[in-house]
A and B are shown apart, each in its own frame.
Chain A
Amino acid sequence: MSLTGLLTEIVLAFNLSVLYYFALLNAVYLLLLAVSISEILRFVRRTFFSDYDQILKSEMTWPITIVVPAHNEARSIVETVRSLLGVNYPEFEVIVVNDGSTDDTLGRLVEAFGLRRTDRIYRRTLPTEEVRGLYGSLEIPNLVVVDKVWGGKADALNAGVNGSRYPLFCSVDADSIIEETALLRVVKPFMDRPQEMVAVGGIVRIVNGCEVQDGRVVRIGLPRRALPVLQVVEYLRSFLSGRSGWSGLRSLLIISGAFGLYRKAEVIAVGGYDRWSATEDLELILKMHEHLRRTRRPYRIVFVPDPVCWTEAPATLRVLGRQRNRWHRGLLQSLWRHRTMIFNPRYGAIGLFALPYFAFFETLGPFVETLGYVIIPIAWWLGVLNTDFFLLFLVFSIFFGVFLSVASVLLEEISFRRYPGWEHLATLVLAAVVENFGYRQVLGLFKVKAFFDFLRRRHAWGRMDREGFRAPDPVPGHGSAL
């Protein structure tokens, strides 16, 4: 067989594998979408009868510690803390952990909230880097700042857990804003199933383009720049069609570090957050699944689509690349660390379905997809480009992606409707189509790079350049930016 013939055989075999791969992947996506629709509709119906004000008034509601790890967050930390102090919840404390910031994060907090060093007692239940001091305020007794030597986000979260007084703690990113009723909504699963619930995640939405005043989102809008708009749709798909589905299948592996509520005792039981992990949130949830399944305790880790955390999305490709590189490396690290759980029936749906999905599709997916894009021109060059294959590839890789994104916009529209205007809807639908032509492929490339970085054991966190919650982009014309 000639070299060209061999190459042709390889290309054809690859083509076929790619088609099967995408068909299987899309079947999983469809399953997740179907479960998500059912879960969200049920949730919305129940929300109507939820009586959150009773959680607010009741003395039996569990108090919550909000832990905010902050490293060089001077631009937005004051607004974040203000928003947190204003949440509607009967009893809570806010612990900001200043994780070795080299900017004026601590100074801004001290100045804005009249903080002073206190000799409050700090219990070192989880090991962390040295705590330099604790700050409190006479005027705001439920605000504490832990100032510590830099140890990374996981270390800062562990310090916050150590400092917390209450049985539940909520992790919130310093560049994020949680809605006034978010705690009431995220605690509800704990009230419904107090014995079983160990962690609950809320939805993360993108704050770029929204108007923020005094730490509150006062007007919801879409960003003017294309990249954050595409991320809005991506987040809708990821949370409404993805996590709702995983949660419905009782296989949720990720609770976003930006906003999650945990039972403190369970987190301490697994040793808290891991410093070595690039995605400490994923790693924590996997450790909890492993521990709780091994000890055969009934438990639940769920996603609720209603409590909203607004977060700043990267506005440039460079920063987005760093963020996604870290996320993907973190996923690979955790999958490798917990590889014995994969296909292990002892871990139920997690071991037999969720982890194999992440190992097979999330790890290999970017390679298959990227290779697919490379192989098509090669096949054309070799003269073996099968038009049927090309069209099928297009249907499975692109059209189906558009379908899922548009379906997520529909899910948002029939459930929460956070983006009220017709212009918002038009932009979101347009973005749902556009993101599959370029954006998704770029994300795939970021993941491929992350894979090699993982192999080379590169552990950089990746600096996140933020603009802070400054005045929003003006609304008119935001759709045309696409």
Chain B
Amino acid sequence: MRVIVLQLIVGTAGVLLFLIAVIIVNKAMREAGESTDRRRQIEFGPAVAVYLGSADSRSILSYLPRRVGRRDRRIVEALLVEAASAEGSASIAAPAGASLVSAGTQARAAAAFEALGSVDRALQDLDSRRWWKRAEAAERLGLMRCPRAADRLVLLMGDEVGEVRMRAAAALGLMRSSTSIRPLVAALSDPSRWSAIRVAEILVRAGQEAVDELLPAWDNLPRHARLSALDVLARLRTPRAQDLMRRCLSDPSADIRARAAHGLGQIGDTGSAGGLQEALADAAWPVRAMAAKALGRIGLPAVVPALCRALEDREWWVRANAGEALRRLGDAGREALVGMLDAADPYARHQALAQLEESGVVDGWIADLASPDEGRRRAALRSIEKIIALGRTDHLAQRAASIADEGVRRVLAEALRR
């Protein structure tokens, strides 16, 4: 027994020491590796930058200061990938006179990738058992717009790992051909919201090519994919989608109707104002709320009466959006909000007041109490008395206590007492 116990103690202590050694060795090796990589970046960075900034037909290998080993190649690849992605290109140390962000940068980076044998290796990695290798390879091939990878990337859209599918999608999006965009439209059907968001982002970046594929594919998309499609079309603000979105205002799905209303607002389709005003009477409150928001974005003063009615909606979100929409409509909307302080519906009155307070109109009235123009003063006092009659006096009471002008303070305090 004693021997077993002692062995247990020695074993535990050994495991502990081993753990501590692992921690130290791991940190030391990581820091050494990072330091070596930094040195290599300093060594190869300028040569890569010069290569990218040049226009001759020489291979990148002739620009590099020495023959590259496996680890060197990784660093050079990373520098090329950085250059090929728009965000990264500026971070490469560029020698004077070398233009990195030129139209040819991407093409030169792709040619260098081929010369280094990196494309072949990435294509091999697409079959790797490790998903992160597949994902990384897809990303690199996309950044290099490698045409011979297109078919393989389309196949990768069926990968079991979501991250790999998304990298393949991003790569196809960068290629921007109909064969690469079509599988992306199909990928909008992915049930994960996160995947849908990323595919939608890729399609938005693809621009009009995405619209070309989305509109004909509409009828075959499932409902949740249609929501994403509407989102993409709205963000692209394409007038080509107006008819589709107007039709969607009468779709059986409330989600689709709401998203279409939102989209029409984003596009700023003035021709849909009538349909959106009708949508203010939709049975589903999210549709009414989105229609109110859209009308505010479109910005036609003619919709003021409809928005005033929406301010009396039974649903808080609709009232809030209608209030905000009126605020966005400038003078006409503000006047309407002031008028709504007399509305029969107490919720509409409160919403109107909240909007007027947030837009600074109430503070303007308070400031007008000090105006030399008597008409202005009286009008301001009348408006303030309306607020007091509503019983929403928190804001006024605080201003009455804190405003610097003694005369205004007195008038406010008196009005509040009355």
**A interface with B by C-beta (< 8 Å):** 45-46, 48-49, 51, 54-55, 57-61, 116-121, 123, 133-134, 136, 138, 141, 165, 188, 190-194, 387-388, 391-392, 394-395, 399-400, 402-403, 406-407, 409-410, 413-414, 422, 425, 429
Which residues of B from 196 to 241 have beta carbons under 8 Å from A? 196-198, 200-201, 228, 231, 235
Chain B nearest CB: distance from A41 CB in Å?
11
Return chain A residues, CB-CB under 8 Å to B200.
Answer: 58, 60
Cβ-defined partner of A399 (8 Å) among B16, B132, B316, B395 = B16
Choose from A49, A121, A188 the contact partner of B132 (Cβ within 8 Å): A49
* Beta-carbon contact of A117 and B395 below 8 Å: yes
Residues of B within 8 A of A49 (CB): 132, 135, 163, 166-167
Q: Is B377 an interface residue when CB atoms closer than 8 A count as contact? A: no
Lowest 7 CB-CB distances: which A-B pairs, in order?
A: A191-B194, A119-B392, A117-B394, A194-B193, A117-B398, A49-B163, A399-B12
The complex places the Cα of A105 from the Cα of B398 at a distance, in Å, of 18
The reply to whether B198 and A54 contact each other, CB–CB distance below 8 Å, is yes
Is the CB–CB distance between A60 and B197 below 8 Å?
yes
Within 8 A of A (CB), among B122-168: 132, 135, 163, 166-167
> B1-40: which have CB < 8 Å to A?
1-2, 5-6, 8-9, 12-13, 15-16, 19-20, 22-24, 26-27
Q: A191-B193, A192-B194, A422-B27 are in contact. Are A59 and B235 (CB under 8 A)?
A: yes
Closest to B162 in A: A192
Dominant secondary structure at the B interface: helix
Cα-based distance from A136 to B395 in the complex (angstroms): 10
For B234, give the chain A residue with the smallest CB separation.
Answer: A59
**Complex: A138 Cα to B363 Cα, angstroms:** 10
Q: Please judge, given known A-B contacts A117-B395, A395-B12, whether A388 and B23 are in contact too, CB under 8 Å.
A: no
A165 to B316, CA, bound (A): 10
Query: What are 11 A-B residue pairs whose CB atoms fall within 8 Å in the complex?
Result: A46-B163, A118-B354, A121-B354, A191-B192, A388-B1, A399-B16, A403-B19, A407-B19, A410-B23, A425-B24, A429-B23
Q: A residues within 8 A CB of B228?
A: 60
Provide the bound-state CA to CA distance between A403 and B27, in Å.
19
Pick the residue among A138, A403, A422 that contacts B358 (CB under 8 A): A138
Distance in Å: Cβ of B62 to nearest Cβ of chain A: 33
Given that A406-B20, A413-B27 are contacting pairs, would A118 and B394 also be in contact in the complex, using a CB cutoff of 8 Å? yes
B42: CB under 8 A from chain A? Answer: no
The majority secondary structure among interface residues of chain A is helix
CA distance A395 to B392 in the complex (A): 68
B345 within 8 A of A: no
Question: Which residues from chain A contact B196 at a C-beta distance below 8 Å?
Answer: 60
Residue on A nearest B353 in the bound complex, by CB: A119
Inter-subunit contact A59/B231 (CB<8 Å): yes
B22 engages A410 (CB within 8 Å): yes
Known: A46-B163, A117-B395. A392 touches B5 (CB 8 A): yes
Q: B309 near A: Cβ within 8 Å?
A: no
Interface pair A119/B354, CB less than 8 Å apart: yes
Partner of A403, one of B2, B12, B201: B12
Quote the shortest CB–CB distance from B340 to chain A (angstroms).
14
* Nearest CB in chain A to that of B135: its residue: A49
Q: Given A119-B357, A403-B12, are A55 and B316 also a contact pair (CB < 8 Å)?
A: no
Q: Bound complex: CA of A188 vs CA of B197, how far in Å?
A: 11
A404 CA to B27 CA in the complex, in Å?
19
Number of A-B contacts (CB under 8 A): 119
- Contact of B26 with A413 in the complex, beta carbons under 8 Å: yes
Q: Within 8 Å CB of B351, what residues of A?
A: 121
Determine the distance from Cα of A273 to Cα of B398 in the docked complex, in whole angstroms. 32
Chain A residues closer than 8 Å to B409, beta-carbon distance: none
A141 to B320: give the CA distance in the assembly, Å.
Answer: 14
Tell me which of A116, A123, A165, A394 contacts B399 (CB under 8 A). A116
CB-CB under 8 A from A387, the residues of chain B are 2
Contacting residues, chain B, for A46 (C-beta < 8 A): 163
Q: How far is the CA of A253 from the CA of B199 in the complex (A)?
A: 34
Residues of chain A with a CB closer than 8 A to B398's CB = 116-117
Chain A, residue nearest B130 (CB): A45
In the bound complex, CA of A118 to CA of B362 (Å)? 11
Is A54's CB under 8 angstroms from B395's CB? no
Is B305 among interface residues, defined by CB-CB distance under 8 A?
A: no
Task: Say yes or no: A123 contacts B26, CB within 8 Å.
Answer: no
Q: Which residues of B contact A410 (CB under 8 A)?
A: 19, 22-23, 26
Interface flag for B68 (CB, 8 Å): no
Does B350 belong to the interface (CB within 8 Å)? yes
A61–B16 CB distance below 8 A = no
- What are the residues of chain A within 8 A of B15 when measuring CB–CB? 403
Decide yes or no whether B397 CB sits under 8 A from chain A.
yes
| Min CB gap B21→A, angstroms | 10
CA distance A387 to B163 in the complex (A): 55
| Residues of A contacting B135 in the complex (Cβ-Cβ under 8 angstroms) | 49
Residue-wise, chain B 97-139 has the 8 Å CB interface mask toward A (1 for contact) of 0000000000000000000000000000000000010010000
B360 touches A (CB below 8 Å)? yes
Report B-chain residues with C-beta under 8 Å of the C-beta of A190. 193
Find residues 226-285 in chain B having any chain A CB closer than 8 Å to their own CB.
228, 231, 235
What residue of chain B has the Cβ atom nearest to residue A386's Cβ?
B1
**Across the interface, which residues of B come within 8 angstroms of A123, CB to CB?**
316
- Among residues of B, the one whose C-beta sits closest to the C-beta of A400 is B12
Contact A57 B201 (CB under 8 A): yes
Q: How far is the CB of A399 from chain B (nearest CB, A)?
A: 5
A192 touches B350 (CB 8 A): no
Bound Cα distance from A48 to B196, whole angstroms = 19
Report A79 CB to chain B, min CB distance, Å: 25
Q: Which residues of chain B have C-beta atoms less than 8 A from A403's C-beta?
A: 12, 15-16, 19
Interface pair A48/B132, CB less than 8 Å apart: yes
Complex: A225 Cα to B394 Cα, angstroms? 47
A414 to B395, alpha carbons, bound, how many Å?
54
Complexed CA–CA distance, A364 and B357 (Å): 57
Q: Is the CB of A121 within 8 A of B316?
A: yes
A48 to B133: give the CA distance in the assembly, Å. 12
A392–B12 CA distance with the chains assembled, in angstroms? 11
Partner of B197, one of A54, A407, A413: A54
Question: In this complex, what residue of A is CB-closest to B164?
Answer: A49
Q: Which residues of B contact A425 (CB under 8 A)?
A: 23-24, 27
CA distance A165 to B395 in the complex (A): 21
Report B-chain residues with C-beta under 8 Å of the C-beta of A407. Answer: 19
A193 / chain B contacts, CB cutoff of 8 Å? 192
